[in-house]
Structure 1
Amino acid sequence: MNWKKQKVFITGGSGFIGSHLTEKLVRDGARVTALLEYTPYNDLGCLRHLPKNVLSQVELIPGDLRDPEMIKKFLRGKDVVFHLGALVGIPYSYVNPREVFEVNALGTLNLLLGARDAGASKIVITSTSEVYGSALYTPIDELHPLQAQSPYSASKIAADKIAESFHKTFGVPVATIRPFNTYGPRQSDRAIIPTIIIQALKKKTIKLGSLTPRRDLNYVLDTVDGFIKIAESPRSVGEVINIGTGKDISIGELAGAILKVMGKRTKIVTASDRKRPKGSEVMRLLCDNAKAKELIGWEPRTSLETGLKHTVDWIKGHTEGYDPDKYQI
């Protein structure tokens, strides 16, 4: 696909992954409209880190995914739609499950209704590896059962199934990307890697939850490449596609790898208030990315060590955006 002059609509454009995707599309020549969560402070989120010459080319729309008329209005005339907008905090879903469901599931329904009526040529819906729950087998392929082990994962399963139904019922050209854990520059300390890094930079002890769960960690620019390839490929329509490295690491091992990159030997302790409820903890996520390789020609390019170095360097330069004393949900 030639992105020059393509009219693209992105929800969640101000988020961690969304900001990198927005930047990539603008640099490739697309005409990008980004939906931002409305705040009275005109908060740009992660988009504030884009170079001014890139950000100036993005049409910024404040709004709410739960407003179907607003979504429908701004989808008119758009060629490609990337839906990343969501409430993504798993601990937050324990506190506000209704809000998480409304934004993630009903917001996706509103997006799909608007994209269907606008005649968009491609819609990419963002899922999450959390929908798989604790692995029944590894590596996890797209046929693995879906298990709702948190209100967040339940909301994303609902969104995924709404997208599937719109393809099967209305012929909507939708594809679902299912990224495993993504990390990199601009990520908030709600996520595990920035949490470890900022505590290692500022504290004598690192507080974490359980150290035994294992995760498949994908560098953000590789995840963005997955979004682009899924949008470009006609073979992805109607498909769910995992994006991950095919390698996993425990949280304890990850903390050790980060400290090695940073040249530190900070003490690590577990804190009960940072642990998920026992039945909600997902113990292992390991991606089978064979479908992505075969269907869209995607594969990871960034090693964990290289990605961690980039992330550490970025956080060192932006410590004002992180709070090492607060457990972010």
Structure 2
Amino acid sequence: MTAPLPAPAPAPSLVAVTGAEGFIGSHLTEALVAAGHRVRAMAQYNSFSSYGWLETLSAETLGQVDIVLGDVRDPGSVDQLVEGAEAVYHLAALIAIPYSYQAPHSYVDTNVTGTLNVLEAVRRQGTPRLVHTSTSETYGTAQTVPITEDHPIRTQSPYAASKAGGDRLADSYHASFGTPVVTLRPFNTFGPRQSMRAVIPTVIGQVAAGERTITLGDLRPTRDFLYVKDTARAFLAVGTAPAEAVVGRTFNAGTGGEISVGELTRLIGKLMDTDLDVREDEERIRPAHSEVMRLVADASRLRAATGWQPGYDLEQGLGHTIDFFRDPGNLSRYKTGIYNI
């Protein structure tokens, strides 16, 4: 008697990611595949057919990723991305604060209109879950510490204002149409693949390239730095938690700790066994009323709803990031000798 064939394994659930080619998006794509999902990953259309950081993922991971070139500013692109997905993770955004002073219209187009297009596509397609990405910059300088999700919104840059606009649209679609959206508000994510417009890769990249005189902006602001793998896990947590626990809500993701830019730079010098001469550059300092002086997260709501908590402390995350930038192949992708905005 012939033994019955084993039942086929269930097909992995399909999820979609906007901004998948970027720093956090590429780490999230890896995490989603590791969790058993198939990922339809949107990278912004470009004439080089570049897939950004997705090109560095392992062949095994990419075997579960369908990369499409598109643009969240185009409704048709978003509709095609969302179709058939069980969940959508919306990370596509313009994020560099200094450039938002120069090109604010482009931030509204991407961060507000792009978010509107994602919300409309999810609404039309009946997608079961949308995870929308916010930013701690929407809070502005902390009025109370640690910052809970009920802290007032005070946008101090065009970037922050554009992200707050997307947040408000997400809230309104849940209230008006029952769109199953949950908003994740990560604090300052760092780690391998981050661009040089952020302070940690700026410092590590300059040291790895042989510089000992480090040029930065204001050294006084404090930040709550969250390692990128913990950020990716926070996205998975709100993307897969029971709807009644997360839908229609906003969640901070952070460690609850803070460190000033100056102290952080000294710590990086210690971990890289290098004496640094740190200098402030006026060009890198935000306008007087635009600098956010203090950010530190209260992530207790996220822990209570999903059980998430950080798995890496600051020194562990910095160690992994230093290893990444010390690799000549990785460092060669960056321009460490210029001010990257």
TM value normalised by structure 2: 0.94
Task: Name the amino acid aligned to 2:289.
Answer: G
User: Aligned to 2:332, what secondary structure does the other structure show?
Assistant: helix
Report the CA distance between 1:26 and its aligned residue.
1.4
Larger Rg: 2
Q: Does 1:323 align with 2:335?
A: yes
Q: Does 1:5 align with 2:8?
A: no
More divergent stretch after superposition (113-122 vs 50-59): 50-59
Structure 2 gap ranges (5+): 1-9
In the aligned structure 2, how far is the partner of 1:74 from the partner of 1:11? 8
Query: What are the equivalent positions in structure 2 for 1:131-280 lying under 5 Å apart?
Result: 131-201=138-208, 202-233=210-241, 234=243, 235-280=245-290
Q: Is the 8 A contact 1:4 1:28 kept in 2?
A: no
Question: 1:27 aligned to 21, 29, 34, which one?
Answer: 34
Q: Which residue number corresponds to residue 81 of structure 1?
A: 88
Task: Name the amino acid aligned to 1:258.
Answer: I
Report the CA distance between 1:4 and its aligned residue.
5.9
Q: Is the 8 A contact 1:123 1:175 kept in 2?
A: yes
User: Aligned to 1:189, what secondary structure does the other structure show?
Assistant: coil
User: Aligned to 2:263, what secondary structure does the other structure show?
Assistant: helix
In the aligned structure 2, how far is the partner of 1:276 from the partner of 1:44? 31
In the aligned structure 2, how far is the partner of 1:182 from the partner of 1:76? 30
In the aligned structure 1, how far is the partner of 2:11 from the partner of 2:299? 29
In the aligned structure 2, how far is the partner of 1:246 from the partner of 1:171? 32
Residues 135-164 of structure 1: per-residue CA shift (max 9 Å, x gap): 111100000011110000000000000000
User: Aligned to 1:321, what secondary structure does the other structure show?
Assistant: coil
Task: Name the amino acid aligned to 1:142.
Answer: E
Aligned residues: 328
Task: Name the amino acid aligned to 1:21.
Answer: L
Task: Name the amino acid aligned to 2:264.
Answer: L
Q: Is the 8 A contact 1:4 1:29 kept in 2?
A: no
Report the CA distance between 1:102 and its aligned residue.
0.7
Report the CA distance between 1:264 and its aligned residue.
0.6
Report the CA distance between 1:27 and its aligned residue.
2.1
In the aligned structure 1, how far is the partner of 2:38 from the partner of 2:286? 41
Q: Does 1:72 align with 2:79?
A: yes
Report the CA distance between 1:29 and its aligned residue.
2.1
Q: Is the 8 A contact 2:266 2:276 kept in 1?
A: no
Q: Which runs of 4+ in 1 moved over 3 A?
A: none
Q: Which residue number corresponds to residue 282 of structure 1?
A: 292
CA RMSD of aligned residues (A): 1.3
Report the CA distance between 1:45 and its aligned residue.
1.1
Q: Is the 8 A contact 1:203 1:324 kept in 2?
A: no
Q: Which residue number corresponds to residue 101 of structure 1?
A: 108
Residues 175-227 of structure 1: per-residue CA shift (max 9 Å, x gap): 00000000011111111100000111221200000000000000011111100
User: Aligned to 1:172, what secondary structure does the other structure show?
Assistant: coil
Residues 280-305 of structure 1: per-residue CA shift (max 9 Å, x gap): 10000000111111111111110111
User: Aligned to 2:176, what secondary structure does the other structure show?
Assistant: helix
Structure 1 gap ranges (5+): none
User: Aligned to 1:54, what secondary structure does the other structure show?
Assistant: helix
Residues 98-157 of structure 1: per-residue CA shift (max 9 Å, x gap): 011110000000000001111111100000000000111110000001111000000000
Query: What are the equivalent positions in structure 2 for 1:297-312 lying under 5 Å apart?
Result: 297-312=307-322
More divergent stretch after superposition (120-129 vs 292-301): 292-301
Residues 40-73 of structure 1: per-residue CA shift (max 9 Å, x gap): 0111111122012212321111111111122113
Residues 233-281 of structure 1: per-residue CA shift (max 9 Å, x gap): 1211000000000000000000011111101102110000111111110
Aligned CA distance change for structure 1 residues 4 and 144 (closer, same or farther; 3 Å)? farther
User: Aligned to 2:339, what secondary structure does the other structure show?
Assistant: coil
User: Aligned to 1:278, what secondary structure does the other structure show?
Assistant: coil
Identity of aligned residues (%): 45
